[in-house]
């Protein structure tokens, strides 16, 4: 299917950096450190886990950097899966991403915005879903206006988010009262597998940067640097903020408090700290939600471009430089999930959480695709090659396979929700006929 208005390279490297950092540093860093501390036998083990998580994420980023620079197309994982396995497995991934994973993430992030905005400005029992819906509409509207506008908003949101996390770091390391007595940990054995699940969940989202590769200026040069440097920055930030948590609460105190960041800010600044913490979480959730909207719309667009029956979402608006129809469809789906969450909040969160096995399955398939495409497209120029091939790609695949197993083990029968989502996508494939791209006509 011809693309009358393909994506244009309008984004700078710093825009891609802001999107990557913004989507990774989400609300998770304010919650998962408590779970990691509870599973860690010592402070050193906990800190090493955050360093290891950063290193494993960088290994994955190096694999994605080769794919992104070799195939600089809109669609990210979808484009790589299509080239390696064909359009139908790629559609199943895009379907799961469009129907639950991405839109569900947007809805949940906006619910976090709603929860904390309700603490700042309560407008009644429906405050949280109301603020969540406003966030979805506002961010979708900004993205609909154009890529330049959404990237500018993303840059400023990322600055606010990182500044907020640094406030916690400074508060914990420099302004904590001297009479605070941190609570020591249990000193037991560390549950390494469980720790990695939580840590890598908090690092999750870095791969979203590849969805904008086609729109980044000189992408073949800058995307490897953006992926690696953004994760180095995030890892440094995560280690620092965990040091601040330890300084004030200790390992045992971190494990006892679900909202570790709020507890730290409350102890250092009192009631003012609680208000400031709410504002920091709102900024973090908005940052991740906007980045998710940007990258999610690109995968929706890629599906519409490849399946004529869905061609209406595969149109790129030349004037705004954005996939406007895909943005609208994604926003409507996210709003529908917000409405559902307003009435069945717990069930909604569990349903989204249980799509983790589907996510890790396709992550593993992308890692394997690197080997497939190295062999199949051996003569294709590769501006960037994964160092220490095949060791690092094998490590990435092994990590993804382990997390697929771990997510299945921890969700149990709930994993059937993800399987049901894929089954619906399989039924749709019976009705949809993919187009053949000219570059895929030859082996």
Q: Do residues 132 and 335 touch, judged by C-beta distance below 8 A?
A: no
> What are phi and psi for residue 385, nearest 5 degrees?
-120, 140
Instruction: Kindly tell me if the per-residue pLDDT of 48 is higher than 90.
Output: yes
Instruction: Kindly tell me if the per-residue pLDDT of 348 is higher than 50.
Output: no
**Average pLDDT over all residues of the chain:** 82
pLDDT at site 141:
93
Q: Do residues 1 and 213 touch, judged by C-beta distance below 8 A?
A: no
pLDDT at site 1:
43
Instruction: Kindly tell me if the per-residue pLDDT of 177 is higher than 80.
Output: no
Name the pLDDT band for 349 (thresholds 50, 70, 90): very low
Instruction: Kindly tell me if the per-residue pLDDT of 71 is higher than 80.
Output: yes
DSSP sequence for 222-246: HHHHHHHHHHHHHHHHHHHHHHHHH
pLDDT at site 440:
46
Query: What global pTM score does this model have?
Result: 0.81
Q: Two tokens at 152?
A: 């500018």
Q: Spell out where 112-252 has E strands.
A: none
Convert 182-204 to b/e letters by CB count within 10 Å (16 or more is b): beebeeeebbeebbbbbbbbbbb
Of 156, 199, 208, residue with least CA distance to 20: 208
């Amino acid at each position: 299917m011809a693309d009358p208005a393909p994506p244009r390279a309008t984004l700078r490297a710093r825009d891609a950096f802001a999107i990557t950092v913004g989507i990774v540093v989400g609300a998770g860093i304010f919650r998962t450190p408590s779970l990691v501390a509870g599973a860690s036998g010592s402070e050193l083990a906990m800190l090493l886990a955050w360093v290891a998580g950063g290193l494993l994420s960088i290994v994955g980023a190096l694999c994605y950097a080769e794919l992104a620079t070799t195939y600089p197309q809109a669609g990210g994982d979808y484009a790589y899966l299509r080239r390696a396995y064909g359009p139908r497995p790629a559609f199943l991934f895009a379907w799961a991403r469009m129907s639950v994973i991405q839109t569900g993430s947007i809805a949940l992030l906006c619910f976090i915005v709603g929860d904390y905005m309700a603490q700042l400005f309560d407008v009644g029992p429906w405050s949280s879903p109301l603020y969540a819906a406003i966030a979805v509409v506002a961010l979708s509207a900004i993205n609909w206006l154009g890529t330049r506008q959404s990237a500018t908003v993303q840059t400023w949101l990322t600055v606010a988010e990182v500044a907020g996390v640094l406030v916690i770091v400074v508060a914990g390391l420099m302004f904590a009262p001297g009479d605070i007595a941190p609570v020591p940990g249990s000193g037991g054995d560390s549950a390494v597998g469980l720790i990695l699940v939580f840590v890598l969940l908090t690092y999750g989202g870095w791969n979203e940067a590849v969805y904008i590769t086609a729109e980044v200026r000189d992408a073949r040069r800058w995307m490897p640097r953006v992926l690696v440097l953004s994760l180095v920055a995030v890892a440094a930030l995560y280690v620092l903020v965990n040091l601040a948590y330890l300084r004030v609460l200790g390992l045992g105190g971190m494990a006892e408090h679900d909202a570790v960041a709020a507890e730290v800010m409350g102890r250092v600044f009192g009631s003012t700290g609680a208000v400031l913490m709410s504002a920091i979480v709102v900024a973090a959730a908005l940052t991740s939600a906007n980045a998710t909207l940007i990258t999610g719309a690109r995968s929706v667009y890629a599906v519409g471009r490849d399946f004529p029956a869905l061609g209406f979402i595969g149109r790129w608006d030349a004037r705004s430089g954005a996939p406007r129809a895909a943005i609208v469809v994604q926003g409507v789906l996210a709003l529908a999930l917000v409405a559902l969450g307003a009435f069945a909040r717990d069930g909604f969160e569990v349903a989204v959480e249980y799509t983790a096995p589907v996510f890790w399955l396709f992550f593993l398939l992308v890692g394997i695709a690197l080997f497939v495409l190295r062999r199949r497209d051996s003569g294709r120029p590769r501006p960037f090659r994964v160092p220490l091939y095949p060791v690092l790609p094998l490590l990435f695949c092994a990590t993804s396979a382990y997390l697929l197993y771990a997510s299945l083990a921890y969700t149990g029968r709930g994993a059937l929700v993800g399987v049901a989502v894929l089954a619906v996508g399989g039924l749709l494939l019976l009705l949809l006929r993919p187009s053949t791209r000219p570059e895929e006509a030859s082996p």
